[in-house]
Structure 1
Amino acid sequence: MEVGDDWVPCFPEFPNISCWWPPSPWPETLFINIALYSISVLTAVLNLLIIISISHFRQLHTPTNILLLSLAVSDFLVGLLVMPANVPQCWLFGDLLCSLYRFVSDIIFSASVVNMVLISVDRYVAICDPLHYTTRITVNRVRVCVCLLWFCSVAYNSYYFNLHLIQTQENCYGNCLTLLHEAGAYLQLVLNLIVPVTAIIVLYSRVFVVAVSQARAMRSHITAVTKQISVTKTAKKSELKAARTLGVLVVVFLMCFTPLYFESLGGYQSMSNSTTYFIMYLYNFNSCLNPLIYALFYPWFRKTVRLIVTLQILQPGSCEANIL
């Protein structure tokens, strides 16, 4: 890595082995650090509100919301653990904590990806096979799936971390980056990007086609509408709205994390420190965007936030409140 004349080392006492960074004026550095730490706090707080909302109010104990709860847990951990560690340019906590940090980050990442796939499956069944949705997608089954996805994420990353991962400092101390064997990098690309992204695109393509056809059918319906049909139509509209909302969630997720794996395929050695820093934080920033999407599209989230902030959830029987 070429070092400019005015660059500063992460460890001034060991300039020959330390990573070097271009200096920034202290007002700019202070502003950036405050902004990034504020985003970390906001991410943790917003996702904690989602966790409390779905866990506390029984009306929200639906299969789709259980998946959103699992996603909120991973996003909360990103805001609490992952994002704060990415704020400083230099890693000052040693190789052991760096390895632990990368291991935990990979677990959270894998869980988030599988969550998105399960959300796509949930919407696929709800839109494409609505008559069997309530029997195939139940709260208990979704809870089991969520427990399995977290267990498998921990097991997979533990196995993969031990066999395929090489800790590297890119010939200098101050970076917390990981470099994979070539075979390991391709395996990660296939399992964590190509397979889940393909599944998500295929499922949501089918959902989109069916949703459009249902919308056209409802618009062209000119016969007398009975009460039963009206209720069915309302349910379909609700499912279509949920599909659109979760579609936005999935698209934003893919936009934020895809650059990370496209770049990692070529290895971090071909990237500048600033580029790596930006790509990693872009992925983490997705965890802050998710609850903002909920607030924009879900009225129940805005209502539960008011009940939580005003401490009304502490009242007896508040879990039975009508918030839908």
Structure 2
Amino acid sequence: YCLSPSPSILQTYACTVHGDLNISVFEINIMELPVKDNQSVQYCFYPGNISFLLETKLYMCLYIFSALTVLLTVSGNLFVIISISHFKQLHTPANVVVVSLAVADFLIGLIIMPFQFSSAIESCWYFGDKLCTCLNGLYLFLTSASVSSLVFISLDRYLAVCNPFFYNAKVTIYKTVFIVLLSWLSSLWYILAYMNSDGNYIRRDCVGDCYFVFTAAWGLADLFCTFILPFSIMTCLYARIIMIASRHAKAINFVIEKENSTQNRKSKIPKSEKKAAKTLGIVVAIFMLCWLPYLLMTVVLEYIPYASKALNQYHDGLGFISLINSGLNPIIYALFYPWFRKSLKIMLSCKIFSPGTSTLNLFPNSICTCSCGCDRSQLLHLVSCGM
């Protein structure tokens, strides 16, 4: 039984599900340890041969790292939300999707991360079954909304580069808001269907534990919807964007050379192409690196029972890494762009409270004639401008 910590009892447990009967087995091994003042504590650890208490220094390092991760995630996404909401120049269809992503990641950092990190470090859930159910459902919902926002950002880039006339004429803020709200409602519907349909998930009623187990059908469906499909879409769209951007760069360079334009303008095209390719490559790579190990481990634990005992101890650690993706998104999608750095300086210096700051020009050194801050003729810049 997993209770609040105290210094004298070491508790380990194992929870398994057998066959189709969904029988939970709970094993407890308690070892009395001598401690000053005759105090006692109970610790929970993963099943297997792990039977040690983490050193105090390691606990402190893990909690400090967790606190910094939460702070980075919450503050980073909050800065993105405030920047785009406050500065009118950033009120564009593309930035509506960026705000959607930032809101999902902000809520993950504010609500989900503290409980998940604490549970992972302590190897025990201290917050009750009701909160466990609510947080698991909320986490699945926010993760789904975050992934859908990533897909919409890649789709926005694709339309801006491959069909710029359609993008400028048809893609509006109101239409984008409607699509974003629809994606959030779809994510909510998916999670409610998962949580409320009989037989779609198994609640492992192990004391001191908090997680749900997908059935085989829902496990494959969730893997397809949360990783395989969005990753495939983003990869295809980004590959197409890079191809089109390269083609545009060559065409523009050919026209520039033919018209004997200045060398200064000529040199900007390859630089923008390189920046676009780098940023989009980071987007795909970070998403894959953060989520692929965790999802693969989940599949292995579900379909290879004999591997569960050896690998289960690493599952929460990989989940820890997947959570960090929410803190990296503001860096990937915002910190690389000049408008965010300038707006961040304005916020940190408290100048944001001054009258008239909402109409400041965040692109003073660029040609800004379209909604995203780029010249319409420079199609390649649509990829790398302020989203």
CA distance in 2, matches of 1:247, 1:136: 28
Please point out which of 146, 155, 173 is paired with 1:112: 146
| Residue type at the aligned position of 2:259 | A
CA distance in 2, matches of 1:15, 1:295: 48
| Residue type at the aligned position of 1:259 | P
CA distance in 2, matches of 1:66, 1:254: 24
Shift of 1:279: 1.1
CA distance in 2, matches of 1:235, 1:53: 28
CA distance in 2, matches of 1:143, 1:35: 35
CA distance in 1, matches of 2:82, 2:280: 20
> Which residue of 1 is the match for residue 211 of structure 2?
177
The question of whether the paired residues in 2 share the 8 Å contact of 1:126 and 1:239 is answered with no
Secondary structure of residue in 2 paired with 1:9: strand
Q: Which structure has the highest helix share of the two?
A: 1
> Which residue of 2 is the match for residue 64 of structure 1?
94
Bigger-Rg structure (1/2): 2
> Which residue of 2 is the match for residue 168 of structure 1?
204
Deviations 1:233-269, CA, capped at 9 Å, x for gaps: 9899869855653442233122211222222223366
Whether 1:79 and 2:79 are equivalent positions in the alignment is no
CA distance in 2, matches of 1:243, 1:319: 31
> Which residue of 1 is the match for residue 20 of structure 2?
none
Closer, same or farther in 2 for the Cα pair 1:127/1:295, shift >3 Å? Answer: closer
Alignment of 1:1-324 (within 5 A): 8-9=10-11, 15=28, 19-21=44-46, 22-88=52-118, 89=122, 90-163=124-197, 164-169=200-205, 172-221=206-255, 222-224=257-259, 241=275, 244-267=278-301, 270=308, 272-294=311-333, 296-324=335-363
Secondary structure of residue in 1 paired with 2:202: strand
Q: Give TM-score scaled by structure 1 length.
A: 0.86
Shift of 1:280: 0.8
Deviations 1:100-131, CA, capped at 9 Å, x for gaps: 11100000110111111111111111111122
CA distance in 1, matches of 2:149, 2:301: 26
- RMSD over aligned Cα atoms: 2.9
| Residue type at the aligned position of 2:196 | N
CA distance in 2, matches of 1:60, 1:240: 24
The question of whether the paired residues in 1 share the 8 Å contact of 2:85 and 2:91 is answered with yes
Unpaired runs of at least 5, structure 1? 1-5
Shift of 1:7: 9.4
Deviations 1:201-225, CA, capped at 9 Å, x for gaps: 2211211211222222333331116
CA distance in 2, matches of 1:260, 1:69: 26
CA distance in 2, matches of 1:322, 1:109: 34
| Residue type at the aligned position of 1:291 | P
What percentage of residue pairs aligned between the two structures are identical?
A: 35
Q: Give TM-score scaled by structure 2 length.
A: 0.73
The question of whether the paired residues in 2 share the 8 Å contact of 1:10 and 1:174 is answered with no
Q: How many residues align?
A: 312
Unpaired runs of at least 5, structure 2? 1-7, 14-26, 31-42, 47-51, 364-387
CA distance in 2, matches of 1:320, 1:52: 14
CA distance in 2, matches of 1:189, 1:100: 21
Deviations 1:276-303, CA, capped at 9 Å, x for gaps: 1111111110111122234541111111
CA distance in 2, matches of 1:83, 1:30: 17
| Residue type at the aligned position of 2:360 | A
| Residue type at the aligned position of 2:294 | L
> Which residue of 2 is the match for residue 3 of structure 1?
none
The question of whether the paired residues in 2 share the 8 Å contact of 1:113 and 1:196 is answered with yes
> Which of 1 and 2 has higher RCO (CA within 8 Å, sep 6+)?
1
The question of whether the paired residues in 2 share the 8 Å contact of 1:19 and 1:173 is answered with no
CA distance in 2, matches of 1:218, 1:10: 66
| Residue type at the aligned position of 2:185 | F
CA distance in 2, matches of 1:128, 1:211: 8
The question of whether the paired residues in 2 share the 8 Å contact of 1:260 and 1:279 is answered with yes
The question of whether the paired residues in 2 share the 8 Å contact of 1:64 and 1:119 is answered with yes
